[in-house]
């Protein structure tokens, strides 16, 4: 392409070409369900669980459903890129194409930004049961009191090497991570039945500072820590993936564990209107007044909390 005659149509083409090659961050789909919306807000009913089998004695014993719910209101988001006509005419090094590709990337990673904010605020924002999403006293029906916010004292763990909470040893992180997984596996529904007994696949979300240790924890063999010559990904057929999230930089001693092989996830993505590209370019009044073009993105969407039983916040102490 001759950059000396770069047109708004060419810039638009760059944007859509980038969208075709950027599939987004895989962890977004692992942690959340995507739901369409056709109104200003959607109400999600969390109706509890179906009753389990019992011996037929004295006739049927019907059990109803709970009626917890949560509304998610769509919000209008936008991003606008302005390019001076002279820059489009003079660009010989592909700088505009690079900026347009970044522009497209931002439209895709916006979901990751919204979901990361949910995780950061999970210990102080309520979910469908009226408790904080990450909380120590969730109760539903016959579940008993349950916590998806746990602490692990790493100084008491059996390990050949000990670290500190901001830099734990691989052995310590392995055990803290497995404690989070065990906590998820222990959750019961409102009928007192296990909710995650068939769970096999998990994502561990960590800040950058814990990434190297966490990555080693899912691959290294540490007999002293696990009391067996196995790494976590071989235990009971579990599949554990570590995902680094730079947006969790305020976390220095904590991470989250998520079950990702369930049809109902811990978080919700909701979209009323997909991302739309709008252009004010050649021949527009804006170009006449400003000698520039504008490329605007907008979308109606939002995120919210789903099942808290699919996630656990682990704080090392």
pLDDT at 234 over 80: no
With cut-offs at 50, 70 and 90, classify the pLDDT of residue 299. very high
Could you report the per-residue pLDDT of 62-103, keeping only the tens digit for each?
A: 665 556 788 999 999 999 999 999 998 888 668 898 989 999
Of 310 and 225, the structure prediction assigns the larger pLDDT to 310
Is residue 143 included in any domain, yes or no?
no
pLDDT at 159 over 60: yes
157 and 261 together in one domain: yes
The residue behind tokens 């040893």 is 169
| Mean pLDDT, residues 44-66 taken together | 67
Residues ≥6 apart with Cβ < 8 Å to 166: 209, 252, 253
116 and 20 together in one domain: yes
Cα separation of 7 and 2, whole Å?
Answer: 10
| Mean pLDDT, residues 262-268 taken together | 94
Could you report the per-residue pLDDT of 184-222, keeping only the tens digit for each?
A: 999 999 889 999 999 999 999 999 999 999 999 988 755
Neighbouring C-beta atoms of residue 209, cutoff 10 Å: 16
With cut-offs at 50, 70 and 90, classify the pLDDT of residue 166. very high
Among 225, 88, 124, 130, which residue's Cα sits nearest to residue 169?
A: 225
The mean pLDDT value of the chain amounts to 88
207 and 177 together in one domain: yes
Q: Which residues on adjacent β-strands are paired with residue 77?
A: 299
Coil, helix or strand for 7? Answer: coil
The residue behind tokens 């976590």 is 232
259 and 159 together in one domain: yes
pLDDT at 24: 77
Poorest-pLDDT segment among 31-45, 66-80, 303-317: 66-80
Cα separation of 153 and 168, whole Å?
Answer: 11
Is residue 172 included in any domain, yes or no?
yes
Cα separation of 312 and 53, whole Å?
Answer: 29
Sign of CA dihedral 126, 247, 257, 114: positive
Among 210, 48, 182, which residue's Cα sits nearest to residue 128?
A: 48
pLDDT at 63: 64
Cα separation of 207 and 96, whole Å?
Answer: 32
> What's the CATH code of the domain at 109?
3.30.2400
220 and 94 together in one domain: no
Which residues span the domain enclosing 260? 149-266+307-316
Could you report the per-residue pLDDT of 95-140, keeping only the tens digit for each?
A: 898 989 999 988 889 999 999 999 999 999 999 999 999 999 999 8
């Amino acid at each position: 392409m001759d950059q000396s005659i770069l047109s708004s149509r060419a810039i638009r083409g760059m944007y859509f070409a980038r969208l075709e090659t950027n599939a987004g961050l895989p962890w977004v789909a692992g942690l959340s369900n995507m739901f369409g919306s056709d109104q200003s807000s959607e109400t999600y009913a969390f109706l509890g669980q179906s009753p389990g089998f019992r011996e037929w004695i004295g006739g049927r014993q019907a059990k109803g459903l709970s009626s917890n719910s949560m509304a998610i209101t769509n919000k209008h988001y936008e991003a606008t890129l302005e390019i001076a006509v002279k820059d489009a005419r003079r660009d010989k090094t592909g700088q505009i194409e690079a900026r347009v590709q970044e522009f497209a990337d931002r439209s895709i990673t916006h979901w990751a930004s919204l979901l990361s904010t949910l995780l950061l605020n999970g210990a102080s924002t309520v979910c469908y049961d009226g408790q904080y999403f990450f909380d120590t006293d969730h109760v539903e029906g016959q579940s008993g009191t349950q916590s998806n916010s746990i602490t692990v004292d790493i100084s008491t763990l059996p390990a050949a090497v000990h670290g500190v909470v901001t830099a734990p040893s691989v052995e310590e992180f392995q055990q803290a991570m497995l404690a989070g997984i065990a906590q998820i596996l222990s959750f019961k529904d409102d009928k007192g039945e296990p909710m995650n007994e068939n769970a096999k696949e998990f994502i561990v979300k960590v800040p950058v500072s814990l990434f190297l240790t966490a990555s080693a924890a899912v691959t290294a063999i540490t007999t002293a820590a696990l009391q067996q010559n196995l790494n976590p990904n071989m235990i009971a057929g579990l599949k554990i993936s570590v995902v680094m999230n730079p947006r969790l930089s305020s976390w220095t001693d904590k991470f989250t564990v998520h079950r990702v092989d369930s049809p109902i996830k811990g978080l919700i993505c909701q979209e009323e209107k997909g991302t739309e590209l709008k252009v004010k370019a050649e021949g527009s009044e804006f170009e006449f007044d400003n000698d520039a073009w504008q490329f605007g993105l907008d979308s109606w969407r939002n995120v919210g909390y789903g099942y808290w039983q699919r996630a656990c916040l682990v704080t090392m102490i």
